[in-house]
Chain A
Amino acid sequence: MPVPLLTCLLLSGLMLASQPLKSQPPTGELELSAGGFLKVHGLVGDISSDEHLRGNQELWIPHIPVEPDNTDSSRGTLQARNSRLWLRARGPDTPLGRMEILVEGDLMEDMTGYRPRLRHAYGMIGRLLAGQTWSTFTNTAALADVDSGTAVGNTVTRHNVLRWTQPLGERLDLLLALEEPLNRLHPAGQSGFITRSDRREEDIVLRLNAYPDRGNLSVSLLRREISVHSATASPGDNRHGGAISIAGRLETGGLDNLRFAVKYGNALARHSTLGAYPDAVIETDGSLSLNTVYSTLLAWQHYWAPDWRSTFALSHSRSRLPDSAAGTLTRSAVSAQANLVRSFGDQWSLGLEYLHGQRHLKDGRDGQIDRLQLTLRVNF
């Protein structure tokens, strides 16, 4: 029996076993709510000569320029594309639990205008969630609180997810999910990636999440099918790989907290370093060579006062690119961010952040960026 079908059956069994159907109509009212924030970024620093690149507006590792591309340290940008709006409907209670639907978007669809982009769109009934949202492999409580994009070691994958959350105790959850099987493959001897999501088993993610008194800790396991289906005489190839993530947030005294993540695997590339690494290389004979990746993140958030906070984040990732991979691919990346943010009540915040990013190519070339960013955020 295929693993995804077995997982579906397991999810269905868990759902029915924990909340048996009753012949009662839904109760309660439907609650509608909306919220979000307006965010304006102004940044100065190293910006590529191609001004429409996403990497010119936030940290995007593949867009860190290397020679012969040019940067202009005297340039600046001003944009509000990271503004967000969410709409939510909750209730009524059903025999399977409370219903919830959430849609969230921002304006990051392209870098030349303000086209809306869908971030989250999911429905929930009780413990079952279906739709587009954070991958179950991501512990969102462990993500570094930085505004200049995201740290290299942050896993920020959002895609289609079918997830069941099973409480194992007051402070322990088990999450089991089937997720969109997107593969990013690099043909040997060529440049760039091929992206495929069809005719593949869904990704399977299992995560154990604990909520001790002083924070949040998770262990996630990921299993993916990496495959290439060829229309030529070449037979194609099909591999299964995995990854593990240990991540969390620990309160270190007062409001301060330490966030960390360590990840490793030969199917990790999809969830690492903002898409800089391929899942595998398609060799000339049609076989696949999986790409082993590891990443680390350490971020300390310190509160100077209740309304003043800073985050100091340091992150690194590296991939063991197969020998046949092109020299222009990224082999490793580093990011370092430090910020100072002042909050004004619950609605306003103003922050200054320094970003340093590096990437190292397989052929030995390096690139780096240094930027200073001012961010205004207004909650509504």
Chain B
Amino acid sequence: MTAFRRGILLLLLAAVSACSLDSAPAPSTVSDRRLHAVMTESLDLELARLDTLTFDLHRTPTELDRERARRLEDIARAAQRLRDSAIRIRNLAPTLSLGDYERERFDLLATQLAEQAEALSAAAHHNRLERLTTQMAQIRRTCDSCHSLYRGP
């Protein structure tokens, strides 16, 4: 392989790594805070897309089941990424200027978010449609609690 082609390949690999949500987090704490909010919005959208299948006019029940299974796997993967992001947020605690009580509460909420995201992922993976909305509502409440305590104006 010529040096030029090697250089192009390295540039492509670097670009792919930068775009991947699963890559190791950058040192910036701001990107993780915003990223988990984007992930939660993305999960809301995936759940809404699942709901749109209810009024599909043309596909057979068999085809709709397959489509739901694909979307549920997408939801499960997105919930896993949210869980990973919540764990990274929890690990940010030592870098924040928090008192003991605030630190303890921060850890609790971040752990709660990770656990709820894990539960959402499990519900989606096992096709438990009836639990998705409940799990997502719990995640939103946890996000709101944390934001009201720790996110500034």
Contacts and interface: CB of A to CB of B under 8 A. Distances in A.
A35 B60 contact: no
Contact of A255 (B48, B55, B70): B48
Contacts of A88: 61-62
B6 to A, nearest CB: 28
A159 B74 CA distance: 33
A25 B41 CA distance: 46
Given A100-B62, A102-B62, A254 B57 contact: no
Nearest to A147: B57
A346 B49 contact: no
Interface residues of B, number: 18
Given A254-B45, A306-B48, A349 B55 contact: yes
A292 interface: no
A157 interface: no
B63 A211 contact: no
A86 B62 CA distance: 11
Contacts, number: 49
A346 B57 contact: no
A134 B54 contact: no
A140 interface: yes
Interface in B4-62: 45, 48-49, 51-52, 54-62
B60 A346 contact: no
Contacts of A254: 45
A75 to B, nearest CB: 26
Q: Which of A86, A140, A146, A343 counts the most chain B CB atoms within 10 A?
A: A140
Contacts of B59: 140-141
B51 A306 contact: yes
Contact of A346 (B48, B54, B56, B67): B54
B43 to A, nearest CB: 14
B55 A343 contact: yes
Interface in A296-314: 306
A340 interface: no
A143 B60 contact: no
Interface in A141-199: 141, 143, 145-147, 156
Nearest to B44: A306
Nearest to A349: B55
A35 B57 contact: no
A100 B58 CA distance: 19
Given A254-B45, A346-B51, A141 B67 contact: yes
A125 to B, nearest CB: 13
Contacts of B61: 35, 86, 88, 102, 104
A377 interface: yes
B60 A255 contact: no
Contacts of A373: none
Contacts of B55: 341, 343, 349, 377, 379
Contacts of A377: 55
B44 to A, nearest CB: 10
Contacts of A134: 60
B60 to A, nearest CB: 6
Contacts of B45: 254-255
Nearest to A345: B54
A100 B66 CA distance: 13
B64 to A, nearest CB: 10
Contact of A102 (B48, B56, B60): B60
A220 to B, nearest CB: 15
A133 interface: yes
A124 interface: yes
B63 A379 contact: no
A102 B52 CA distance: 22
A170 B125 CA distance: 15
Contacts of A349: 55
A143 B48 contact: no
Contacts of A35: 61
A120 interface: yes
Interface in A254-292: 254-255
Nearest to A34: B61
Interface in A109-142: 120, 124, 133-134, 140-141
A104 B60 contact: yes
Contacts of B57: 143, 145-147
The 6 closest A-B pairs by CB, nearest first: A143-B58, A140-B59, A140-B58, A346-B54, A145-B57, A306-B48
Interface of A: 35, 86, 88, 100, 102, 104, 120, 124, 133-134, 140-141, 143, 145-147, 156, 211, 213, 251, 254-255, 306, 341, 343, 346, 349, 377, 379
5 contacts: A140-B63, A141-B63, A255-B48, A343-B55, A379-B54
Given A102-B61, A140-B63, A251-B49, 15 more contacts: A35-B61, A88-B61, A102-B60, A102-B62, A124-B62, A134-B60, A141-B67, A145-B57, A146-B57, A156-B58, A343-B54, A343-B55, A346-B54, A349-B55, A379-B55
